[in-house]
């Protein structure tokens, strides 16, 4: 089969398309013919030798989220799964490929009314955004600032916070991204690539921070007493430089929100897919790349050229 190999850590060009043996599902596994594979930001950081959430070393086929049809199952797995259209986390690697083996407990059947590409776009980001909303405990009427609001997770947070009755300020880089956040229902849009952007935001109750660094540091003082900074990523390359003590001194809290039990993760993923099917959540699929061009996809993501989710198409 065709697949994308990471043979060493480095820049986007270390992602090399090539051949890989057709995977065979072992006991307790299912095989998916992949129609779409998602790319998450952390995979660009893994590729470059930074974060390594699954503690794997090259050579490896990256990719933790796929959607397609189950074509076979291993011993001990119910045959009814074969032929089902599903989305699934791979368990860490193997997603950038024409076929992927996943633990049989992983696939979720795509609900009626939800297109497969939308389901793949919602798989990781939907679950993450829902976990973050739980961590933030957003109340009706609260003011919520979403950083990177046109990104994969950010674009869903804008919608979920709106549904919770919050007043959402969407902060993103440049007018094109701001327009996306406005279309998703943000009450106000701020271009944080412009000097003095924080003054335009004003005081807020919640900050969703997947960016870190200087932008996160600029957002932190905007929190009112009682406010919550929900920190979940470092797209800038550095965490927001504030400690729990800094927060306590200001009467605010820092919450790190993407953990949950396996049951939580499954339930939150199902809930995101259901919201996608009913139209409550709209994933923004900003760009699609053929599988062989995974390097270009990573380059686009890390140069901030992407909007919403980026999918690979085998
Ligand atoms: N996807 C998930 O399920 C998940 C789970 C856990 C954690 N996270 C973390 O959440 C954060 C967002 O993830 P995502 O997949 O939704 O990514 P994303 O928002 O689609 O992409 C990252 C965005 O961050 C902004 N950004 C600000 N400074 C940047 C810089 N120096 N370099 C690159 N981008 C920069 C860019 O938007 P602007 O151009 O608008 O600034 C960029 O488009 C990441 O830190 C990721 O590790 C994601």
60-78 pLDDT, tens digit per residue, is 999 999 999 999 999 999 9
Q: For 250-272, what is the mean pLDDT?
A: 93
Atom of ligand 1 nearest to the CA of 309: 20
User: What's the CA gap between 200 and 153, in Å, rounded?
Assistant: 23
Q: Is the pLDDT of residue 117 over 80?
A: yes
The CA–CA distances, whole Å, from 225 to 147, 201, 204, 285 equal 20, 16, 9, 36
pLDDT bracket for residue 295 (50, 70, 90): very high
User: What's the CA gap between 210 and 152, in Å, rounded?
Assistant: 10
Instruction: With beta carbons less than 8 A apart as the criterion, state whether 108 and 269 touch.
Output: yes
In terms of Cβ atoms closer than 10 Å to its own Cβ (0-12, 13-18, 19+), residue 191 is: middle
pLDDT given for residue 259 in this prediction: 84
- The secondary element (H helix, E strand) that includes residue 46 is helix 41-47
β-partners of residue 147 are: 171
Q: How far is the CA of 210 from the centre of ligand 1 (A)?
A: 6
User: What's the CA gap between 235 and 232, in Å, rounded?
Assistant: 10
Q: Is 212 in the pocket of ligand 1 (CB under 6 A)?
A: no
29-54 pLDDT, tens digit per residue, is 999 999 999 999 999 999 999 999 99
pLDDT bracket for residue 256 (50, 70, 90): confident
pLDDT bracket for residue 258 (50, 70, 90): confident
Atom of ligand 1 nearest to the CA of 127: 3
Hey, is 54 helix, strand or coil?
Answer: coil
Tokens of 32: 């998916």
121-152 pLDDT, tens digit per residue, is 999 999 999 999 999 999 999 999 999 999 99
Q: For 261-271, what is the mean pLDDT?
A: 95
pLDDT given for residue 260 in this prediction: 87
Q: Is 93 in the pocket of ligand 1 (CB under 6 A)?
A: no
Provide CB contacts within 8 A for 266, sequence distance 6+: 108
166-184 pLDDT, tens digit per residue, is 999 999 999 999 999 999 9
Tokens of 135: 């961590």
Q: Is 146 in the pocket of ligand 1 (CB under 6 A)?
A: no
User: What's the CA gap between 181 and 314, in Å, rounded?
Assistant: 29
pLDDT given for residue 267 in this prediction: 97
Q: Is the pLDDT of residue 26 over 80?
A: yes
Q: How far is the CA of 258 from the centre of ligand 1 (A)?
A: 14
């Amino acid at each position: 089969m065709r697949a994308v190999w990471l043979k060493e850590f480095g820049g986007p060009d270390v992602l090399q398309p090539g051949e890989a043996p057709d995977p065979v599902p072992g006991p307790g596994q299912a095989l998916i013919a992949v129609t779409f594979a998602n790319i998450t930001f952390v995979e660009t950081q893994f590729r470059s030798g930074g974060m390594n959430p699954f503690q794997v070393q090259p050579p490896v086929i990256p990719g933790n989220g796929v959607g397609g049809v189950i074509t076979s199952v291993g011993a001990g797995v119910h045959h009814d799964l074969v032929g089902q259209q599903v989305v699934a986390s791979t368990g860490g690697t193997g997603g950038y490929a024409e076929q992927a083996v996943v633990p049989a407990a992983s696939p979720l059947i795509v609900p009626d009314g939800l297109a497969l590409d939308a389901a793949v776009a919602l798989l990781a980001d939907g679950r993450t955004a829902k976990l973050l909303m739980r961590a933030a405990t957003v109340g009706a009427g609260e003011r919520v600032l979403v950083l990177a609001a046109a990104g994969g997770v950010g674009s869903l947070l804008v919608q979920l916070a709106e549904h919770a009755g919050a007043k959402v300020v969407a902060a993103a880089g440049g007018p094109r991204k701001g327009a996306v956040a406005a279309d998703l229902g943000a009450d106000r849009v701020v271009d944080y690539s412009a000097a003095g952007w924080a003054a335009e935001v004003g005081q807020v109750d919640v900050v969703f921070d997947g960016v870190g660094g200087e932008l996160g540091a600029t957002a932190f003082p905007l929190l009112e007493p009682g406010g919550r900074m929900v920190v979940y990523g470092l797209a800038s390359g550095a965490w927001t430089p504030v400690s729990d003590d800094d927060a306590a001194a200001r009467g605010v809290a820092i919450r790190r929100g993407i953990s949950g039990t396996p049951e939580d993760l499954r339930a939150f993923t199902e809930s995101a897919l259901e919201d996608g099917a009913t139209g409550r959540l709209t994933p923004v699929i900003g760009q699609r790349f053929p599988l062989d061009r995974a390097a270009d996809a990573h380059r686009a993501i890390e140069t901030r050229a992407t909007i919403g989710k980026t999918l690979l198409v085998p």
